[in-house]
Amino acid sequence: MEVRSRRPSERGSNETFSGEVWVDVLVGEGDYQRMRVILVRFAPGARTAWHSHPRGQTFYVLEGRGLAQARGGPVVEVRAGDVVHTPPGEEHWHGAAPDHFMAHIAMWEVDDEGRGAIWGAHVTDAEYRGQVGGG
């Protein structure tokens, strides 16, 4: 058994998030060969940029209310207790609802080249509101 001290919380990067986001790396590079696990806390309206994961992603909503969308699909609401899975290569985003905080634990594996996520453009306000992109 190994008990590790928790790493400090970090502000989410402006390159991959919009709004106020805080990230705690629970299992990161150097911990295990492929697995990555992070706790992400989103302020109301904050969200990820469009992205995909070569081996897919699962996230578990711990608290609050959020929104998520796969490219071309509707914006869907997620709540505490929901488990969301995105298959390998599916472009998507997720974040807090406009009037609620949301926290989730995100889990994914890196591919053989060490890539865990492929990041795209920021989600526009219209996309966030579900007015374009199939919502």
pLDDT tens for each residue of the chain, 135 residues long: 777 777 889 999 999 999 999 999 998 776 667 889 999 999 999 999 999 999 999 999 999 999 999 999 999 999 999 999 999 999 999 999 999 999 999 999 998 888 899 999 999 999 999 875 444
Residue 106 CA to residue 64 CA, distance in Å, equals: 15
Helices (H), the chain: 125-128
The pLDDT value recorded for residue 134 is 43
pTM, 2 dp: 0.90
Q: What is the mean pLDDT of the chain?
A: 92
- Convert the pLDDT of each residue in 14-27 to its tens digit: 999 999 999 999 98
Return the H-helix or E-strand segment holding 11.
Answer: strand 10-11
Measured between alpha carbons, how far is 57 from 85 in angstroms, rounded to an integer? 6
- Measured distance CA(53)–CA(35) in Å, rounded: 12
How many CB atoms are closer than 10 A to CB 7?
11
